[in-house]
Each structure stands twice: as C-alpha cells, then as structure tokens.
Amino acid sequence: MSKEVRVRFAPSPTGPLHIGGVRTALYNYLFARKMGGKFLLRIEDTDQNRFVPGAEEYIKESLAWLGISPDESPWNPGDTGPYRQSERKQSYMQYALDLVEAGHAYYAFDTSEELEAMRERLEAARVVQPQYNSISRTQMKNSLTLPEAEVKERLASGDPYVIRVKIPRKEEVRLNDMIRGWVMVQSATLDDKVLMKSDGMPTYHLANIVDDHQMRITHVIRGEEWLPSAPLHVLLYKFFGWEDSMPQFAHLPLLLKPDGNGKLSKRDGDKLGFPVFPINWENKVTGETAAGFREQGYFSDAFLNFLAFLGWNPGDEREIFTLDELIDAFSVERIGKSGTKFDIAKAKWFNEQYLRAKSNAELAPYVIADAAAEGITILPETAEAIVSLTKDRVTFPAELWKGSKFMVEAPSTFDEAIAGKRWNADAVTVLTAYAETLEGYTGEFDAEKAKAMLGETAEAKEIKLGKVMQAVRLAVTGVGAGPDLMEIFAILGTEEVAKRIRFALATLEVIG
C-alpha cells in the first residue's frame, strides 16, 4: 500500500492571511483531495514577538468561508497534534541536542556585540555576504572553538547560548522540486542558521522540519519565498537521518503586482483600490484594518475559482470550476514556474459569471435585505424582478438594489444634467401622448407591448423615438441610464408608468 498523502498549510499568525497564503492553502487542499490524502493546518507561532492576537481566528474563518477547512488542525486535532507549535515547545530542544550530539549542530555563545564586530570585520575584508558560516565560525565563541571544559562551565552557569546548525564546508545540496525540477546549491553559500534561540524557543527551520516529520508530511507545498531555505531543510533531514521520509517539495510561483514588478503587497491593494486579503481584518490592539474580498461582495466560490487560476491552469480553455471540478482537474505539474500577475479585473469577471449563474430566487434576499436597510419593504416577487433586470449588468450582489429604488418608489427628483439636455418639446409631445394611450389601455402589457405602443405614439407624432428615449427613461426612473426600460415598464404596469410620466411633465421645465 502506498503511503497516505499528507500536506500541511503552516501559517504564522502574524497578521491577516495574505491572498498568496490563501492560494497556498487552496493548492494544498486541492492536492490532498485529489490524492485522497489529508490536509493539515499547523500554526507556526514560535516567534512570540511577531504574534498578533486574532490572527489565528482570522485564518480559521477565512478557510471556513472558502470551504477548504483542514482535516486536522488545532480545532479538530488528529493523532499528530498538538497543531500549534507553541504547544509542541518541549519537544524541539531534544532534537537540537541530538544534532549537537551527532556533530551536526553546536552551541554558540556570541553576544550581539561580538556578532556585530564579526560582521564589520568581514565587511572590511570585502566579504560580499557576511555570515556566520563554516569559515567565520572558527573565529567565534562556540563549542567548536572553545575548550570543552569552558563550554560545560558556560552551559552549567546559565550563560545565554543559541544552537546553530553546522553546515558542511563543501557539499552539493540537491532537491527535486515538483515545480522547478532539480535545484542545486553549494553548501558554502549557506550560513549556520540558528536552530534554538536563547529564549529556549526553536526557530522556524528546526520546528518546521521536526513537525513535518512528526506529522508524517509527504509533500511540502509552499510559497517561492521559502525556496532559499529548502537546501537547509534538506540538510536537516539528512542530519536527523530522516532522508527516506523526506517530503517532496513544491515551491509555488510568486503573486506579482498588477504591472508584474515585484511581489504583490497590501500597499498595492490600498493604492489601486482592491483587497489583498480574503476577509476583513481588524487588529484589535493597533486598530489597523484591511479590506477583504468577502465584504466587498465576492462570492466564495468565485473567489476560489479566481485563486485557483493564479498560477495554475487546466491546460484547456475552461475557466469556470466548482471546488469539486478543481479537485478533479488539479495537478502540481500544471502549476507555472514564473510569477503570476495579480489582475483584479479577472476577479471581478469571475464574480460576474457566478452572479449570473445564480437564480433570481437565490439573489432576491440581497435585494430584500439592502432595501430593508433603507426602510423599504420589498416582496419576494418584486425582488426577483429587480434581480432579473439588473443581474447581467452588475459585479456584486449589493449593486442589484443600488440604483433600483425607482422600481418600488416613483422618483421625486430628476437628474438635472439629463433633463437639461433631453427634456425638449418633442419629448413632452411623445410623453403626453404615451401617457394618454397608457391610461386608456386595459389589455395585456409586457415589454414588447410597451415598446410597440411607444413606437406607435412617436410615429404618429412624426418624432424619432431614439431622440426622446432618454427623456422617457428620465421621466419614469429619474435617471439617464439603467436596465432595459421596456422591462421596467412591464414590471411597473401601465397605471404606474402613466402616473410617473404625468408627474415628470408637471415637474420638469422644457428646454430651448
């Protein structure tokens, strides 16, 4: 039997989850489902300085909104918990000590002043990237350079120390990335990263590797920003003797600014007026806020569909995919290597497609609720009629009611600019005659009939309908543009349309 596929999404709760993080979660989820495996969520909260209250809840709510909830997480643990690194704290030290014991890590006692002095020394010697590595470590205060007795003495007396990985001086580190293929790095370019900090907490690198191993992770699918860390991770698997169960890596392409120049940031969203977070965020301590796709009116399924295409494609022309269809079509091989430009117009396009695919009855509650917020009660039939009129013209459900008030209330004012341009003698002639016709009419009245009657009226007066059409709209709706006017007439009925025309005729002053 082949090994169960287990992937994890491992965010650090340092703020709202960026859209790139949500995409990482989605790809992990799709891969797990596709392979019949498990999708885990691990909260990487070992860096206490960067901890932000509410961030963990935010992650939970975002994933729940999108319907990609984990199989194992702090809230629904499996057998490899706990799922918060802060709760796994006690296990890491032993692993670090094991590495020290095996000669793959060492204690380092250097003070920050000493580290700074080393940096200055290396810079003065024109070393391009001054770092604590296989060469510079020989000049520093660590268990490789100090006499054993002194090391023991320092440890016993509680001298502050960190544990660093001992990177071999000359070794080629190789990893076969599922997206990028073979990646090769010379160990001389790597530094002796800290594994255990002086506060007794592990760094990301140690905790991440230990946890992935203990949680039986088979594939690590994460953002490209972690690719430079991957060689160190490969070495750690080797040092621990876990090479056989080392997960396969897949580093996802970056999400780029709309112009393609650099990584997409919150600032880009603020500047260009679109969200880069799934749901609204508020930092309760600092008061900092950020806008979310959900609150802007994006449907979760449309947003997911959009997200899936930010770096992946099915290899054919299809674009609209339900979550199940995405699972079916997904493959890591079809994830691109190069960065993906973020295009908010595409997100809107997806939302429009999903909005149009929904039935009028499904969308009617938005209209009812939005009208109710303005103190207007709307019947479900009316709400559905409004939806059917507007749904092909809008991007978000909130736009269905916005601008539709005239459907339930006659306008009391009229767009002055339009009136100033269009309310001429011809318009008055046609509208007066049309009102009369409507008042005397008792037969079936639908959009076609409304149009035919209006056309005949204009023709009888020898006035081109096109010339007065905007004035007709103005009289009945108060504004110069909107959904199909004849459909509006059909919904309002002859009596209401005639009444509105009469009011406009009595209110507006004829130009020229």
For 267, other C-beta atoms within 10 Å of its C-beta total: 10
Residues in 12-41 at the binding interface with ligand GLU, rule: CB under 6 A: 12
- Taking the least distance from each CB to ligand GLU, the nearer of 11 and 16 is 11
Please pick, from the candidates 5, 7, 10, 118, the single residue that binds ligand GLU as defined by CB under 6 A: 10
Phi and psi at 411, nearest 5°, equal -65, 140
Q: What's the rounded Cα separation, in Å, for the pair 134 and 170? A: 9
- Taking the least distance from each CB to ligand GLU, the nearer of 251 and 422 is 251
Q: What's the rounded Cα separation, in Å, for the pair 274 and 306? A: 14
- Taking the least distance from each CB to ligand GLU, the nearer of 22 and 371 is 22
- Sequence-distant (6+) residues with CB within 8 A of 45 are 12, 13, 51, 56, 84, 85, 86
Closest approach of Cβ 9 to ligand GLU, in Å? 7
Q: Is 44 in the site for ligand GLU (CB under 6 A)?
A: yes
Q: How many binding residues for ligand GLU (CB under 6 A)?
A: 8
Q: Is 508 in the site for ligand GLU (CB under 6 A)?
A: no
- Taking the least distance from each CB to ligand GLU, the nearer of 208 and 218 is 208
Closest approach of Cβ 181 to ligand GLU, in Å? 20
Q: What's the rounded Cα separation, in Å, for the pair 183 and 180? A: 7
Closest approach of Cβ 24 to ligand GLU, in Å? 7
Checking phi first, is residue 178 left (phi over 0); if not, alpha (psi -120 to 50) or beta? alpha
Q: Is 73 in the site for ligand GLU (CB under 6 A)?
A: no
Residues in 221-240 at the binding interface with ligand GLU, rule: CB under 6 A: 222, 226
- Taking the least distance from each CB to ligand GLU, the nearer of 142 and 208 is 208
Question: Binding segment for ligand GLU among 6-14, 111-119, 256-264, 469-477 (CB under 6 A)?
Answer: 6-14
Which among 447, 445, 459, 431 is positioned nearest to 495, based on CA atoms? 445
Closest approach of Cβ 12 to ligand GLU, in Å? 4
- Sequence-distant (6+) residues with CB within 8 A of 238 are none
Q: Is 11 in the site for ligand GLU (CB under 6 A)?
A: yes
Q: What's the rounded Cα separation, in Å, for the pair 60 and 421? A: 55
How far is CA 224 from its chain centroid? 17
- Taking the least distance from each CB to ligand GLU, the nearer of 41 and 453 is 41
Question: Binding segment for ligand GLU among 10-18, 50-58, 237-245, 466-474 (CB under 6 A)?
Answer: 10-18
Q: What's the rounded Cα separation, in Å, for the pair 413 and 479? A: 9
Residues in 202-221 at the binding interface with ligand GLU, rule: CB under 6 A: 204, 208
Which among 39, 84, 44 is positioned nearest to 66, based on CA atoms? 39
Residue list for the binding site for ATP:
266
266 catalytic residue (yes or no) = yes
Please pick, among 60, 193, 266, 391, the residue that the annotation labels catalytic.
Answer: 266
Closest approach of Cβ 201 to ligand GLU, in Å? 14
Contact between 489 and 497 under an 8 Å Cβ cutoff? The reply is yes
For 360, other C-beta atoms within 10 Å of its C-beta total: 18
Q: What's the rounded Cα separation, in Å, for the pair 447 and 167? A: 78
Closest approach of Cβ 20 to ligand GLU, in Å? 9
Q: How many residues does the chain have?
A: 512
| Residues in touch with ligand GLU (CB under 6 A) | 10-12, 44, 204, 208, 222, 226
- Could you list the active site residues? 266
